[in-house]
Amino acid sequence: MGELDPTFIQEPEHRPKPAVIEAHGIPEIDLSPYITSSSSSPNAIHDLVDEIRDACKDWGFFQVINHGVPIEIREKVQSVAKRFFDQSLEEKKKVKRDEANPLGYYDTEHTKNVRDWKEVFDFMVDDPVVMPASYDDDDDGGTVEYTNQWPHHPSELREVCEEYVKEVQKLSNKLLELISLSLNLPANRLEPFFKDQTTFIRLNHYPPCLAPDLALGVGRHKDAGVLTILAQDDVGGLEVKRKIDGEWIFVKPTPNAFIINVGDIIQVWSNDTYESVEHRVRVNSIRERFSIPYFVNPAPYTVVEPLAELTNERNPARYKGYNWGKFFATRKLSNFKKLNVENIQIYHFKKPDEGKIEDVVTRVENVVI
Ligand code: OGA
Ligand code: NI
């Protein structure tokens, strides 16, 4: 590709800075007291929960080590992902997503209406999942089934991905328990939300880009779900917006660590005790990069609202409840094509401090048209 297609070009204020600022401070948390050793002292667990709480408050991001996911399984997915993306576009498009089923391959995702410099392959943990067809407040918008589309080549992709899911699922459950404890809730408080989960995994490939100063691999965004468990390779590119000063901080890859961030749903459940933090991905002109985010999401029929135990008269709920399946379906649809209106966001459900609640439905309808 010679000149950069204008659809990829970020507005000047959102372009990556030439100099990278490396992360000093994104906490690295050793999960061994909770995961790999069976007889940890209550003190060790207490300290770990404190570390998680501080990380969620100060950064919204942390890395975990000694997380229990075998390195061989992660390496296998990384290698099969590379073999998948190395194929011709024609081959990859055999499992192309479409408007009815947003799972599979695509290379046209937009974040905040600018095209991302990447190609992806998405699949869900539960298959199939019945989702609302779109955002419709009257519940008569119908449903659609999202089903995984597994490619014929590489033939082992499905098996390797399913093995990976089994392992990361265990880590996800442990992290949800630790986060519950860090909010002074019982460890299993969040478990019921995941009976019919809409968790999905994305294989990301960021090819080298001739104009890495103009484009981004993923534009600035927050993750809409509960938690993201990200495996990144040694190239690096993830940047996190530091809460204290809004500076974009490069997350230096730590071999075999996972990067965890709390998503919008934890922000709402915790009634803003924890915030979902903006992040983005820069690309470079030399090395391709692979990453695998595991997006932990609840059942489609979940009404997302501040947890009753975390609100009271002095700290009333700051959000109106919203239906996760409808929110997710709307996001998926608006990701599918460039829209000239703002994407649906949780702040549309934020209650004003006083006075009238704004008309959310009107805004949402603007998005899906
Ligand atoms: C995402 C994301 C980060 C990365 O896909 O939501 O933030 O490093 N990815 O690929
Ligand atoms: Ni993200």
> 95: closest CA among 133, 74, 134, 123?
123
For residue 193, the one-letter residue type is: F
Q: Is the pLDDT of residue 250 over 80?
A: yes
Q: Is the CB of 291 under 6 A from ligand 1?
A: yes
d(CA 290, CA 79): 10
CB 134 within 8 A of CB 326: yes
**How many domains does the chain fold into?**
1
Cα(353) to ligand 1 centroid in Å equals: 33
Cα 209 from chain centre: 23
Cα(293) to ligand 1 centroid in Å equals: 6
72 belongs to a structural domain: yes
Report pLDDT digits (tens) over 253-263.
999 999 999 99
2 belongs to a structural domain: no
Residues spanned by the domain of 123: 19-349
Report pLDDT digits (tens) over 49-95.
999 999 999 999 999 999 999 999 999 999 999 999 999 999 999 99
7 belongs to a structural domain: no
DSSP 23: P
Residues around ion ligand 2, judged by CB within 5 A, are 223
What are 287's two structure tokens?
């090395």
Q: Is the CB of 104 under 6 A from ligand 1?
A: no
Q: Is the pTM of this model over 0.85?
A: yes
Q: Is the pLDDT of residue 305 over 80?
A: yes
Atom of ligand 1 nearest to the CA of 228: 6
Q: Residue 254's domain is classified under what CATH number?
A: 2.60.120.330
Q: Is the CB of 263 under 6 A from ligand 1?
A: no
Site of tokens 């990859």: 92
Report pLDDT digits (tens) over 101-137.
899 999 988 888 889 999 999 999 999 999 887 655 5
Q: Closest Cα to atom 10, ligand 1: which residue? A: 291
Q: Is 61 helix (H, G, I), strand (E, B) or coil?
A: strand
Q: Is the CB of 230 under 6 A from ligand 1?
A: yes
298 belongs to a structural domain: yes
Q: Is the CB of 172 under 6 A from ligand 1?
A: no
156 belongs to a structural domain: yes
365 belongs to a structural domain: no
Per-residue pLDDT, 365:
35
